[in-house]
Amino acid sequence: MFDIFIDTHFSAGHHLRNYPGNCEQPHGHNWKVRVTVRATALDELGMGIDFRTLKTAVNKVIDTLDHRNLNDHESFRTTNPSSENLAVFIFDALGQELTTDRYQPYSVEVRETDSAGVIYRGR
């Protein structure tokens, strides 16, 4: 098994509906994201997945979040844009494009700060 990952980031604002504290107020983060794909075999070039393929797929998803109010995003109009829900959204959005007979998404890590985040490994 090979776990291949890339790190990226995006900036966005949000607020957590019905949160009993200051996070209910609009605020922003410079979110850090790590996407890991698990490969069970290597291709003829000796790669589990080309980093370029992984980056392209991840950037398509991240571009829908970057410099936005996440509460206005179609996926978060009724669901809180928490780190957990963002990780699920990113993981699910990558599922079809990054699933082959050799590899598939393994985990998505979302960090609000350098010291606080979540790792989601799928359902």
Catalytic-role residue among 9, 24, 27, 67: 67
Is 112 among the residues known to form the active site? yes
Please tell me which residue in 15, 23, 84, 97 is annotated as part of the active site: 23
Catalytic residue among 14, 29, 109, 112: 112
Residue 17 sits at φ, ψ, to 5 deg, of -60, 135
67 is catalytic: yes
In whole angstroms, give the CA distance from residue 27 to residue 46: 44
- The three-class DSSP label of residue 101 is coil
Verify whether residue 9 is a known catalytic residue: no
Give the DSSP H or E segment for 36.
strand 27-39
Which one, of 88, 92, 93, lies nearest residue 110 by Cα? Answer: 88
- Please identify every residue annotated as catalytic: 23, 67, 112
